[in-house]
Amino acid sequence: MIIDTRDFGRVEVDAGSVFAFPEGLYGFEKDRTMALFVRTYDDIPFLYLQSVTNTVPCFLVFEPVDLFPGFAPEVDADDLKALEATTSSELMFLLIANVPDSVEGLSLNVKSPIAINPKTKIGRQIILQNDDYSLRYQPFSAEEGRDA
């Protein structure tokens, strides 16, 4: 299907990469269908999660393994039920990125990731109880010994 995107005009996305978000995302409750697509810059692939019905919201997202290895979300029963999954191992997780003017300050929302059930094509933004997971984890600042 072809969708209007925030950053790339009209983009063709694979039907298999379109997910239902029955409750939308926090602050964007009306956007109930989101598409995932890749854009490559300088050989580096970037993943975007884009509303199908509006050009906003659009999020740059990362799989945890790339920038937050060891991500171990404790997904609660209500969230699993909403995603029609029985264990969190069935789910794929995406972390929303926020990119400040200086890109080294890139931060990831590890506290409330996007959970997707690839089988049922249902997605949901969940809020984890893990206390050490931050809304603004900075992978590169932490590396340099500064507070995340």
Q: Enumerate binding residues for another protein (CB under 8 A).
A: 6-7, 16-17, 25-28, 36-39, 41-48, 56-60, 62-63, 65-67, 96-100, 103-104, 106, 109, 111-112, 118, 125, 127, 135-136, 140
What's the N-to-C CA distance of the chain in angstroms? 39
Q: Kindly tell me which of 20 and 65 has the beta carbon lying closer to another protein.
A: 65
Rounded Cα–Cα distance for residues 119 and 124 (Å): 14
Q: How far is the CB of 84 from another protein (least distance, A)?
A: 19
Q: Kindly tell me which of 83 and 109 has the beta carbon lying closer to another protein.
A: 109
Q: How far is the CB of 16 from another protein (least distance, A)?
A: 8
Q: Kindly tell me which of 80 and 111 has the beta carbon lying closer to another protein.
A: 111
The amino acid that residue 90 corresponds to is E
Q: Kindly tell me which of 84 and 104 has the beta carbon lying closer to another protein.
A: 104
Q: Kindly tell me which of 39 and 88 has the beta carbon lying closer to another protein.
A: 39
Rounded Cα–Cα distance for residues 115 and 138 (Å): 20
Q: How far is the CB of 78 from another protein (least distance, A)?
A: 13
The DSSP string of 3-56 is EEETTTEEEE--GGGEEE-TT-BTTBTT--EEEEEEEEETTEEEEEEEESSSS-
Q: How far is the CB of 128 from another protein (least distance, A)?
A: 11
Give the other-Cβ count within 10 Å of 9's Cβ: 9
Q: How far is the CB of 81 from another protein (least distance, A)?
A: 19
Give the other-Cβ count within 10 Å of 142's Cβ: 11
